Structure 1
Amino acid sequence: MRYRLPESHRPYTDAYFLRSRHILEREDLNPRVTMQIFLRQGPGRIHGIDEAVGIIGSFAGNGGRNLTVHALPEGAEYAPLETLMLIEGPIQDFIELETLYLGVIASATSERNGDPLPDPSAVERRAAAIREMLPDKQLMYFGSRHWHWTYDEEITRAAIRGGFDSCATDAGATASGLSGGVGTIPHALVLTFAHRVGMERATAEATLAFDRHMDPSIARIALVDTFNREVTDSIATAEALGSRLWGVRLDTAGENLGQGGTPFDGRTHWTGNGVTVELVRNVREQLDAAGHNDVNIVLSSGFGDLEKIAAFKEGEARYGRLFESIGIGSLFPARFATADIVRIEGRDIAKAGRGLHPNPRLRRVL
């Protein structure tokens, strides 16, 4: 089956993947990795697999000749968290494609299982509600990977009309009158550096590489949750970059209790796994105690939920300054697809809580 493809994937790709490819090239870092894709929402039938494979085959480096892809068949039944696809190959060949292939899987699976299309007016209302609750925070739209690339401009415009300040893709930015997509470091870049320097140094070294190779006008924001070392890696990166570090981003997965978090005690969004008020409060306090009160905190993961926003607003009223900026993708309901590196050069290296889950039902499709 033939699908419409963009002339180039790059305008529809999250900026931090484009920047990561540039950094990896400059650092001569191109190990063979295994990327694992799954959906949280389900069960149902998986769709968009054939189109995702078409995107990978059309836009991968070296014509995709160095890649192998295994996946469930189009239309197969799937379960939540089940591995739907494995992509194996040199990281530089396909790191830029994640936004597009996740988007087509999420949108096709959502539609074919009876979920509604995103409503731009509802997206604008949700964005406006968040802006009203957080009038002084930077709000970034990071939801391009959650739906088909052909909707990116329309949905992004709705988010910006609702009061968001920026977005992740150049296509969305151009459509909204902005200068370009924003975003700094994904987990894939940190994990690739872990292959080179080890887990303990990976976060700081990935951020130092960003600092070496990116234009000075781009804020240096470290991603510090990859190995569940939110406090340790925040301080280590602040010490490594000094005044050049604008902030640290917390994106702790729902599988994990973040370092410095409080086990769940009944207070939803305040305690428990993921990015919680108490986790952020502790990271803020530890940074301040180490003399890094000038380092800002950026949040992501699940902040399309107005109740979560309300909890953090109350947290700041109680504790004082906690964060400066939020990246939000979930401004509309969908069966969101997620991709994680789980193996590098045959060795298990993964984000905390996201290890390899083999699936004997996968078949080779590329």
Structure 2
Amino acid sequence: MRAGYYSDAYFTFTREVLEWDDHRPRVVMQVFQRERSVLGGVDEALAILRLCSGRRLADGGWEPGWDELEVCALHDGDEIEPWETVMTITGDYSLFAHLETLYLGVLARRTLISRNVRDVVAAAGGKPILYFPARFDHWHVQTGDGWAAHIAGAIGVSTDAQASWWGGKGMGTVPHGLIAAYGGDTVAAAERFADRFAHELAITVLVDFENDSVRTALEVADALGPRLWGVRLDTSSTMVDRSLWQEMGRFKPTGVVPELVWKVRRALDDAGHGAVRIVASGGFDARRIREFEEGGVPVDAYGVGTSLLRGSNDYTADVVRVNGVPCAKVGREERPNPRLSPVR
């Protein structure tokens, strides 16, 4: 990062020119984005500035520059408005010109996750949101994305890496792979899983392996009894659960639909398993969760995956003052923000 390996070349070229010309302008850099959003990535951006700002020495060494900078910022998890200044960096531009790609990139990525998670948390009205997109993206993003989801209100994450920044652990359900490993017998897989982990985890079991979620949910509940925390409905968007085959024609039956949730809930209640929760997953986003909640569908928690990675939340940084004098690109004038806090 200090060398500029991860930076857009024009920023490293900028540093080269300033150092070559021994030109050390004291600038105010202003950072903003254009959405109503939830701020993420601030702690990472500050760490990049703290560890990687500075000047290269003639002997190949490095002289840190953080102590020569004045940085003010909002906090991770803050709700932000379009065009609101979220960070300012004041100091010798040559000390941090090469870092713009990096701090804007982490702000963009983590804010996207935080905004999307906050949207589904609000839609769920206080019901738990389980953050499940790890398998849909590069493993390297897990730690920071997990933190961004956590500060935005996600209750659980699926990997230890995602939970590492607050000392948590990944959580999950009895997966299809384990069920397949026991010959497609969901009950057998669930029993062995509970035998191993019931004292550590809230046991939740996927019940769509045979595309008969009502029957499988009852079998699992009967077998595990009080060890079962919940069942997870995850019917593919191209499939119709067996319990709905005789009702097709009155609604769109594919995937996890309200009618399927109601059937599972009533069956569990009628069999004396009223304490077993229902987790719904598979293609859920804020809009779909809101529809379920407005319809009173008896879901206890939502597992959300790919929708939390979609969209964009780009940031821009502009020099708005040079050596104490306003100097900004037209349309990008300085916008002071009294909400900013000094960072040391």
Task: Identify which of 304, 307, 310 aligns with 1:333.
Answer: 310
How far apart are the structure 1 equivalents of 2:224 and 2:198? 15
Asked whether the equivalents of residues 118 and 332 of structure 1 are also in contact (C-alpha less than 8 Å), the reply is: no
Q: In structure 2, what is the equivalent of residue 291 of structure 1?
A: 272
Q: Percent of aligned positions with the same letter in both sequences?
A: 34
* In the alignment, structure 1 residue 226 sits paired with structure 2 residue 205: no
Q: In structure 1, what is the equivalent of residue 148 of structure 2?
A: 158
Asked whether the equivalents of residues 166 and 178 of structure 1 are also in contact (C-alpha less than 8 Å), the reply is: no
How far apart are the structure 1 equivalents of 2:299 and 2:194? 22
How far apart are the structure 1 equivalents of 2:310 and 2:241? 26
Residues 227 and 310 of structure 1: CA distance in aligned 2, closer, same or farther (over 3 Å): same
How far apart are the structure 2 equivalents of 1:142 and 1:185? 14
CA-CA distance at 1:173 after TM superposition: 0.2
Q: In structure 1, what is the equivalent of residue 113 of structure 2?
A: 123
The number of aligned residues is: 203
| Secondary structure of the corresponding residue to residue 260 of structure 1 | helix
**Which residue identity lines up with residue 234 of structure 2 in the other structure?**
D
Q: In structure 1, what is the equivalent of residue 236 of structure 2?
A: 253
Residues 156 and 265 of structure 1: CA distance in aligned 2, closer, same or farther (over 3 Å): farther
CA-CA distance at 1:241 after TM superposition: 1.1
TM-score, with structure 2 as normaliser:
0.55
Q: In structure 2, what is the equivalent of residue 315 of structure 1?
A: 295
| Secondary structure of the corresponding residue to residue 261 of structure 1 | helix
Asked whether the equivalents of residues 117 and 154 of structure 2 are also in contact (C-alpha less than 8 Å), the reply is: yes
Q: In structure 1, what is the equivalent of residue 127 of structure 2?
A: 137
**Which residue identity lines up with residue 304 of structure 2 in the other structure?**
I
**Which residue identity lines up with residue 302 of structure 2 in the other structure?**
I
CA-CA distance at 1:186 after TM superposition: 1.0
| Secondary structure of the corresponding residue to residue 229 of structure 2 | strand
**Which residue identity lines up with residue 274 of structure 2 in the other structure?**
N
Asked whether the equivalents of residues 230 and 250 of structure 1 are also in contact (C-alpha less than 8 Å), the reply is: yes
How far apart are the structure 2 equivalents of 1:173 and 1:299? 22
Asked whether the equivalents of residues 261 and 276 of structure 1 are also in contact (C-alpha less than 8 Å), the reply is: no
Q: In structure 2, what is the equivalent of residue 239 of structure 1?
A: 222
How far apart are the structure 1 equivalents of 2:230 and 2:152? 25
**Which residue identity lines up with residue 182 of structure 1 in the other structure?**
M
Asked whether the equivalents of residues 250 and 299 of structure 1 are also in contact (C-alpha less than 8 Å), the reply is: yes
**Which residue identity lines up with residue 136 of structure 1 in the other structure?**
G
Q: In structure 2, what is the equivalent of residue 278 of structure 1?
A: 259
**Which residue identity lines up with residue 119 of structure 1 in the other structure?**
R
How far apart are the structure 2 equivalents of 1:120 and 1:298? 26
- Alignment map for 1:160-199 (pairs within 5 Å): 160-175=150-165, 177-194=166-183, 199=184
Residues 118 and 283 of structure 1: CA distance in aligned 2, closer, same or farther (over 3 Å): farther
In the TM superposition, structure 1's runs of 4+ consecutive aligned residues that sit over 3 Å from their partners are: 261-267
How far apart are the structure 2 equivalents of 1:257 and 1:277? 12
* In the alignment, structure 1 residue 211 sits paired with structure 2 residue 201: no
Asked whether the equivalents of residues 186 and 207 of structure 2 are also in contact (C-alpha less than 8 Å), the reply is: yes
* In the alignment, structure 1 residue 147 sits paired with structure 2 residue 164: no
Query: How big is each residue's C-alpha offset from its partner over 1:258-280, in whole Å with a ceiling of 9 and x where there is no partner?
Result: 1333766585xxx3211111110
Asked whether the equivalents of residues 229 and 276 of structure 2 are also in contact (C-alpha less than 8 Å), the reply is: yes
Asked whether the equivalents of residues 236 and 255 of structure 2 are also in contact (C-alpha less than 8 Å), the reply is: yes
**Which residue identity lines up with residue 307 of structure 1 in the other structure?**
R
| Secondary structure of the corresponding residue to residue 261 of structure 2 | helix
Bigger Rg, structure 1 or 2:
2
How far apart are the structure 1 equivalents of 2:270 and 2:178? 28
Residues 256 and 150 of structure 1: CA distance in aligned 2, closer, same or farther (over 3 Å): same
Asked whether the equivalents of residues 280 and 299 of structure 2 are also in contact (C-alpha less than 8 Å), the reply is: yes
Asked whether the equivalents of residues 240 and 254 of structure 2 are also in contact (C-alpha less than 8 Å), the reply is: yes
How far apart are the structure 2 equivalents of 1:264 and 1:333? 32
Query: How big is each residue's C-alpha offset from its partner over 1:148-186, in whole Å with a ceiling of 9 and x where there is no partner?
Result: 1111112222211211012111111012x1421001311
